[in-house]
Structure 1
Amino acid sequence: MTTSRGSAPLVVHLVPGPTRHGVTRHAVDLLARPAAAGHVVRRVLPTRLGDDPTGRATLALLERAVVVPAESGDERRRGRTHVHVHLTDHLLGATAGACATVVTRFAARHPLTLTLHDLPQPADGPGRFERRRAAYARMASASRGVVVASEHERTLLLTALAAEGLTPPPTHVVPLPLEPLDPHGRDAPGLPPVPDRPEGPIGPRSLVVFGYVYPGKGHRDALEALADLGPGFEDVGLTALGEVSPGHEDEVADLRSRAEDLGRPVVLTGHVPDDGLVEALRRARVPVAPHRHVSASGSISSWLSARRRPLVPAGAYVDELDARCPGALVRYGPGTGYPDLAAAARAALADPSLTWLAPGTRLAPDGDEAAARLVRIVDGWSAEAAS
């Protein structure tokens, strides 16, 4: 049994988190696309999660956010809603377990589906991995369906559910969108440099890692690769293009200390405003995304959208992306043309054209395609819930 279009529940998307968070930005961008025009988007900004150990305040915040005024007279706006939440665990709870408690309680009150990011994997470390795995399994099991950003993430989620002995809900993949960020559509290097920022300029011969600075992002791997570059590359340094993730300020001191030991320059730019991001990404000498255990990567997507071809370690997600967009990445590691990051970096420093997408390289899906896919999936779940 299916419902008519006019009687289908109204879909309400809840998007928690600070404006600059990657998961939040991704959701807001997709939901601003024409395909999502019939859905309602509500932003939620939980505060002081550490002071809400029971999750009651956060749950109350979600309950208030899901109420949609009935100005239009549409009967769907008088309580018949289907809720879809976009999140990673730390956006709704001080711990993964706290987030899962909020989500499962909320799911008991509303038809709920989820888009989950940053799926737990063994690289999270002993203890933390098991806690996150259990939390994600609880959230998925309590929902009527889950969207993830890669086949690799789907595998991680199904593995988590199996480990906890829980039945998996319907799970679909909507890849992170890939589309040019440069409105002028320029494909060749040689753009004028972005002005130097107070935090420091991007080094002229530098491996550049884009995104939040935190342990495991790959900044340390990039630093260690500098030590293996060999003669002729003694001036090459590291640029961290982005701000420090809250709570990981110690990582900056560690990076600076290790760079000093190696005799290499290191620059941390801090936050790069949106209006300067494309130029900053395009100015980078060697774009690198060295996170070794990535399950889906907004940083890689940003490099590609700026028409850059980043150096990335081979792995399940990277190989999946490489198959979808042939020629878009410079992969290194076992089974590739470069045994390690140092070898790939030497090649890129000697031939900068390696780090630019060739004309005609296909990036897919674009934002409109990804949004349309998400809307079709969520509308299908909404109709099923109402039948």
Structure 2
Amino acid sequence: VFYPDNVPRRDRAIQLQNDISVLQNSAREAREAMDKEDARMLPYINQILKNHNMSTFDDLQKKLNDALSGTQKQMYDDLVNNARRLSVGDDTALMVMSGILFSAGIVAKGNDQFVLYFDGDSSIFPAIDIGNFLRAVNLVTVLRSYARAFITLVTEGVEAGMRAFRLVSTVFRWSEETLLETSQLARYAGNASRFLKVLSVIGIFADGFILAFDFFEQKKQKEELDKAINELYVSRIVAKSFARMCDAIKTQDGLMLGYLILVGDDGTISKEDQDAADKIVNKFVEYVKKDWGAITTTSSLDLLVVLDKQRGSWTNEDPSYQDAIKNAEDQVKTDPPSSPGVHAVVSTSALVAKTAAHRLAAAEVEDFYPPPTYDTAMALVHLTDMKHEQLRLAY
């Protein structure tokens, strides 16, 4: 039995809980998509190796290490070492990113000679800026690792999930330049956060987590429901952030697959295919850089606030906007990116796949984002509310 005054609290807690369950399911789907894309990329990367008289990833690493030097070599070493600390065997994403670096940034001259594309050399026209690409793929490695840790938390439970978060936070080693760009995320300690624990058990306990409160007397029932709303509200922000990170990985995989489809054939690559592939890899770098700086826990909360306004949620006992952000950032220390899942556009037919990859190359980076799912009017209401709150705090 819920007391009448507590019924809205019960309904709000269950609503928040259901939102988290939806985000958990998106993480489970992301794992399946990532595994599927890894399997699709392997034959292409193996063909690239074959095209350049290589048979193993070790061969590819050696040629990259011979060609790279200075800061770029250090950044690539960081990429390899970090990926291997968190993987069993060769990591597919690492192999693909190395293959793209090789094929887009380093060109074979005979069997053994390679020319590194440097900016400023008027005699060589680079397909990519190697430094920018290495910065981007180091960031991608961080994102993939935290996304995988969140997926482990959701699918295997709190103990396995917390071990995964601790592993990510302790094994990464960075060059100074990369560390500056990843410092906020790298500071996340992966300690036994109560919010991450909530995220790991919600799907198991479902409505029983909230409905158990019907045995309490009225005051105790209100206190417990208010506490649940606060914890679920912040947990939902954390879940939204990591779910958006998982979505970003799907788009990054889609872009990498599009590149491989164009260059990972039998070696007879047309100029049109090569030009489209070069466009894709540069858009990959632009996409990673843009998302890393633009998507924050604040923007995740903004999306959730608009969702609540759109469906008329009861929000009387929700924590304040600033308190929610503070609590979420204290626990997460991360600004993960967002995207749709571009991976779905590629067909199994080679001709159709190349056609889709060319469309990908011609698209603008903004096209990689999904259309808004919220009501524009409600978004404007939220912006107005935020302006009023800023004025209130100013005075």
Question: Does TM, normalized by the shorter one, top 0.5?
Answer: no
Q: Normalising by structure 2, what TM-score? A: 0.24
TM-score, length basis structure 1: 0.24
Q: Which has the higher helix share?
A: 2
Structure 1 or 2, whichever has the larger Rg, is: 2
